[in-house]
Every structure is written in C-alpha cells, then in structure tokens.
Chains A and B, each alone.
Chain A
C-alpha cells in the first residue's frame, strides 16, 4: 500500500482561469494541471512524475459546460465525459463525439474524467508508465521496440525512436470533426486545429501535445461544418469496459445525395497522434458508399504500415475498421 502514497506536493485550487495561469507560469515544468485525475493520479501514485505544485482545475466554473456559438458549439475543457456523452446538443449535431466519449474507460471514470484531460492524456506505454528511463522519459533507448519487447499495443505508423500510441478515444473524433483547441497562457490565447494539436515523437518525443507547461487548454470548439454529417465510431479493445483501444476509428461523411462530398477518417492507437487516413478519404470523395469503395478505402488506409513483433494484428484490424466506417455498417 505504501507505494500508493503520493509524494508531497502543494495543492492549489484556483477559482478562476487567471489565477490558474499565474500558477502555471510560476511553477513551469514543476507544476501539474489536474483535471479528472485519471491519468494524473496514476503518475503521482507510482511516483513516475514528481511535480512541486498540483493545480487543481476542478473549481474553475468557466472551464465547464457546453455552449452554442455563432458557428458551432464550444465545450469547456473541464466538461466531464459523462456530460459530453449525454448532452443533447452534442448528441443532436456531433453524435460522433458523444459516441467516442461513451467508449472511454468505465462509468465512474467518465463521471470525473474530462474531455480536456482525455485529449491531453499521456501515452499508456507500460515501459514508460512503469518508470523506466526510455527516450520519452529522457533516456536513450526504447524498451518497447526491442526484439523481445511486448509491443502488442504499440504503433504501426509514424514511429520515430518512440513507438507509443495515443490512447484516447475522443482524440480521433475531435480530429475528424475539424475541432479547434482554445489554449491560453498568461500572454494570451491561441486557437489550434485539432490535427495540429497532437505531437509526433519526431518533433518532440517528451510530450503528447503541443502544450507548453504554462498553457491551459480552455475549450474545444466544434464548427458546424461537420454538424449532422453521417458519423461512424467503433473501438476494438480486449474488454468493453476500462480497456484502452487496440484500434479505434472515428469517421465523418458529408453527403451530397448518395455521393460523399467530403470525408474524415481517423484512427486512434495506431500512431502517436490520431492518424488521418488521407488516402482512404481521397478514395471515397465523390463516390457512393459501396462495399467495393469501402474495401479499397480499407486497403489504402493501411498502406505503408510497419508493424512490430506483436502488433501485426493491428493492420487488418485497422483495415476492417476503415472499411466498416465507409460502409457505415
């Protein structure tokens, strides 16, 4: 039980964004943003990370809630996954995200876990989470890519020293919806396209998103451009509850009669960032959603995959998920 005691830190519970930003600025990389805590507390209990100050965002009401804007909806970063799953506005217009949220973890985790935290969460590579000093932890090797390594859950695309994957079920959905991430720090606000929010190891192996230690994700905007499109979400995991995706797919098809005017097909857990299957998207544009088109889209999506010793199954799995997404089956 003693390993479950978190090491000491100062706990701050700011009531507004300004105070939180001041604290983040003051503590820099010795500070830790705490949302639902379902990624955070794991790190703190295992003593894999050791912040001096934990900044609990829970009390900041302005970070919560779902609002309609002139060109879509805006979801506060601290909105819980349960709210995302059950909110009428999201269900009506962007059911893809509600579906994705429903597939996360377990009911209790969704009751506290937040959309912002789900998008910012760290990878679940267990070598790294176990606390070994791999590349991502600042060391000089990758334990998961070694020939005898257990890498069933790892990447089939985009490896660059690190072969870890994005574990999030919501991330592919926000990328498919062309969401915008509203980020603030003490110097101001910037808006980042969801597709540019996630970090490739080839650019910075130490973090999963573009956020700097002093940044706060305040909201996620869903533009109406994809409202009420034809959506498809599917997740394959070992168990229906708790388990992270082995592969998931989030897809949106804007239809013009029976032909596809535009498409977004995004897979999670196959790369460090949510992977847009651009060649599959190109293939379906202007087509009707037939079995034949679906089959070619699936095959196109996995072109160039580079599986590791134990995750070869992810290639046909991803292929079939993309195919099913196009079929809408």
Chain B
C-alpha cells in the first residue's frame, strides 16, 4: 500500500485517526511542536524556528494527527523542501503537496500579516503579490510559487521601517475600520498603483473589487487609494 493510499479520501476524520507516532517517526523533532504533548505553544515554537533561521518543517502547525504522512520525496512528485522568495528573502521551507501559500506564509514563515477570511477565494483578505500581480494566497498552492517573487504586507516597509505611501494614505483617510481586510486592501492598491500610478476613481474601484470589507469602508479605502496616487 502506498502512502497516499493510506491517507484515504473519505471524510476529514479518516486522516485524523492516523497515529501520531507515524508522523513522529518521520520527523521526530517536530513532535515538540504539538501543544498537546508539551508546554510549548505553537506560536513560540514557530517564532523560535523562524528566528533560528532553520528550515521550517512541515508538521508544526498542521499537527501530526491531521497531516497525511508523505515521504519527503514522492515518486516523481514534487520535493517537499523548497526555497521561496518572500519579501526579498530566500526562505527554505518544508511544504506539503496540498498546502496553500496562505498556510505557508502564516503558519510556517510567521508572516501573519496576510489574513485568512474565507479560505475559498471569496473575500480577498489573503491577497498577496506574486510577480507584482494580486493573487488569493488561500487558493494558490505553495509549490506553484517556487522561484516567484512573493510580496506580503510585511514586505512593503521602507528601509527604515517607514510605512508604504499606500499605508500612509490609508492612515490619513482613516480607511480601515476593524482592519481585518486591510492587508489585502493594501496589497490590491499597491499592485494597482505600480501598474497605473494615476488611476481614475472608477479604475481604482474595479482594481479593489476583489477585496471585501465587512465593515463597509469601501469609500474610505478608495479615498486612500486616490490620496496615495496624488501624493506619491
């Protein structure tokens, strides 16, 4: 029986039942990350790993129980250990075949500025730039973006930590309300102004139309985009 046969494709519960020991046998150091078995919190663990610059391994957030154990290399399939170019840095990371970029960014690379709202391509909270173009990271397989230039909201700050002009304009216009959709809105606005520095309000409205705001602050965001265009 191959490993993928083991996983089964039934209800989510099928894979959850797999014994932790199986995953542990593959990556013994990772079991430490399981909050149920130690006093470490996942957050501390991830932060520690990120800080140490080590390769971020696969099972920390995902939890041993809910991950299909696959060998690091599967016959002919992709290699799990890959390099990503995120915000100008090369990051080594262990990525499952079915892992989305939002998961990798947030839970393996500690880049929690990118939000997950719906995880179904229906809200825009997870918007990042890939090669300067907006994409929903919740609906992009991480293995697809090897070697591509990925920019998240964390990558926008200037050399001395100053906010990007779009962020400054959003502050000036009080664009965000609760702020949950803001990183996605910022990324959509940055991509727009990179390709069209002087958009009409209508062009801006279309460019921002793939980002929902539950607080309904659409006009404030548009005011912010138009201010950023004027002041840039």
Contact = CB atoms under 8 A, between A and B. Distances in A.
Interface of A: 1-13, 34, 37-38, 41-42, 44-45, 47, 49-54, 56, 58, 105-109, 111-112, 240-242
A10 B210 contact: no
Contact of B12 (A5, A44, A54): A5
B140 A37 contact: yes
A7 B127 contact: no
Given A38-B139, A109-B210, A9 B119 contact: no
The B interface is mostly helix, strand or loop, or mixed, namely: loop
Contacts of A38: 121, 139
Contact of A11 (B8, B10, B77, B139): B77
A107 B75 CA distance: 36
A1 B5 CA distance: 24
A296 to B, nearest CB: 36
Nearest to B118: A4
Nearest to A14: B76
Interface stretch (B45-53, B62-70, B174-182): B62-70
Interface in B94-111: 96-100
Interface in B199-215: 206-207, 209-210
Given A2-B12, A7-B9, A112 B4 contact: no
Contacts of B144: 13, 56, 58
9 contacts: A6-B98, A6-B99, A10-B75, A37-B140, A47-B10, A106-B124, A107-B188, A108-B135, A109-B210
B7 interface: yes
A106 B97 contact: no
A3 B12 contact: yes
A242 B140 CA distance: 17
B41 interface: no
A9 B140 CA distance: 16
Contacts of B3: 8
Contact of B135 (A7, A105, A111): A111
A151 B52 CA distance: 55
B14 to A, nearest CB: 8
Contacts of B134: 107-108, 111
B172 interface: no
A111 B127 CA distance: 12
A47 B9 contact: yes
A189 B31 CA distance: 50
B157 interface: no
B98 A106 contact: no
B98 A108 contact: no
B21 interface: no
Contacts of B96: 8
B100 to A, nearest CB: 7
A179 to B, nearest CB: 26
B17 interface: no
B141 A11 contact: yes
B15 interface: yes
Given A4-B119, A7-B68, A106-B210, A54 B97 contact: yes
Nearest to A11: B97
Contacts of B127: 108
